[in-house]
Structure 1
Amino acid sequence: MPYIPAPIDSGITVSGSSVRSIVEAVKSFSVLVGVLLEVMKVQTKDASGALVVDPNGWYPLEDYLLAYKKIDSLLGGRGLEKVGAMVPRNAFFPPNITDIRQALQSMDIAFHMNHRRQGQPMFDPETGTMLEGIGHYLYQPVEGRQELILVSETPYPCRFDLGLILGMAQRFEPAATIAHDLAQGCRQKGGTSCTYAVSWP
């Protein structure tokens, strides 16, 4: 079943650095890059006149989600997973993030920091204030085991999240694996969330 973006609050934008990471992830598919920039209505041009993502700009989330739909239609679910897995490779991690648990526990804050609602940051690190409107990544530790659960209630595609979470986990634990607990539902099949079990040796 193809990815269908979930309804989201209006006025949500996503950071140019996030948009740029997706474009970087698919740059080996030069035709796809042009299509994605067109779908996202990117207007900025470089010195040669080519469309480029402004890393300091903000882009409508609706257009950004359409880009994922385009990736799904052109590359399929595995393509979405590959794109998701590539994002953490170039991501900056604060020095206090040193292991897999800390990295995955911080995903919801990082997710909100890269989105704005009506021009306001969706997470303010100084006050700890988090705005609602884009869902959450919910972290659940599994006591006594090298395992954790991450529940995604975001508007992003299930298969993208699968790759993103695994890519993030493998940055800190290269042998980490992930399993989608379909018994808990799936956004791609009409559910409100997806549940992922991450484990490592």
Structure 2
Amino acid sequence: MKPFKGQYLGAALRSFVRALQQSEAVVRQILRNHGLERIDEDQWYDLNTARSIYYTVGAQVGERSLHGVGLQMIGAAQFPPGIDDIKAVLTSLDAAYRMNCRGPEIGAITCDFEGDHTAVVVFATPFPCALSRGILQGCAKKFAADALIEHSHDGCVDRGDPNCCFHVDW
């Protein structure tokens, strides 16, 4: 896997705490296993610690829960102002990622529109597929309730590939 170097904003990382609020003991254990007592929303955390936390959530609680963490990201993480439709939110994903993740080697999110209601979004980030899929689905569905997200067969970070590619239709 490609090495990643950087920091991750606590406001985005707290999304896993909010998503698992019914399982306080699990949250405490995950934090403790990563040398943390709590997540401060204004603090920056090592990118690999954040990555490990998300992978731990997927392994211990399940991919469905990790997907739920991603769904909540649009309400937890920072996004650029002026987003009022699905095209704007898809276009802003990389900018939003950079507002919540900083450093020399953090990856990227790209979006290419294939038509008026179709886009290809590529997550080349250090995070698990279920989290990326949840983030994309949460963002898309906020502005287009009928949005359909499909994972491409071209690769998956969970299988060691450098990115996850998603087709978005609305």
Provide TM-score, normalisation by structure 2.
Answer: 0.90
Q: Secondary structure at the match of 1:142?
A: strand
Provide closer, same or farther for how the CA distance between residues 75 and 172 of structure 1 changes in structure 2, counting only shifts above 3 A.
Answer: same
How far residue 162 of structure 1 moved from its aligned partner, in angstroms, is 0.7
| One-letter amino acid matched to 2:24 | S
Which of 50, 53, 58 matches 1:72? 58
Greater displacement, 103-112 / 84-93: 84-93
* Residue deviations 1:68-112 (CA, integer Å, cap 9, x gap): 121111122222211111222345554421111111111111111
The reply on whether 1:56 has 2:42 as its aligned counterpart is: yes
Provide closer, same or farther for how the CA distance between residues 91 and 60 of structure 1 changes in structure 2, counting only shifts above 3 A.
Answer: closer
How far residue 168 of structure 1 moved from its aligned partner, in angstroms, is 0.6
Provide TM-score, normalisation by structure 1.
Answer: 0.77
Give the alignment of 1:1-201 within 5 angstroms.
Answer: 6-10=1-5, 12-42=6-36, 51-91=37-77, 93-117=79-103, 132-143=104-115, 145-182=116-153, 184-200=154-170
How far residue 59 of structure 1 moved from its aligned partner, in angstroms, is 1.0
What CA distance in whole angstroms lies between the structure 2 residues aligned with 1:7 and 1:38?
Answer: 27
Larger Cα Rg: Structure 1 or Structure 2? 1
How far residue 165 of structure 1 moved from its aligned partner, in angstroms, is 0.3
How far residue 135 of structure 1 moved from its aligned partner, in angstroms, is 0.8
Provide closer, same or farther for how the CA distance between residues 162 and 107 of structure 1 changes in structure 2, counting only shifts above 3 A.
Answer: same
How far residue 21 of structure 1 moved from its aligned partner, in angstroms, is 2.1
How far residue 40 of structure 1 moved from its aligned partner, in angstroms, is 3.4
Which consecutive residues of structure 1, in runs of 5 or more, have no partner in the other structure? 1-5, 43-50, 118-131
Q: Secondary structure at the match of 1:53?
A: coil
Percent of residue pairs bearing the same amino acid type: 30
Mapped contact 2:79–2:99 kept (Cα < 8 A): no
How far residue 41 of structure 1 moved from its aligned partner, in angstroms, is 2.2
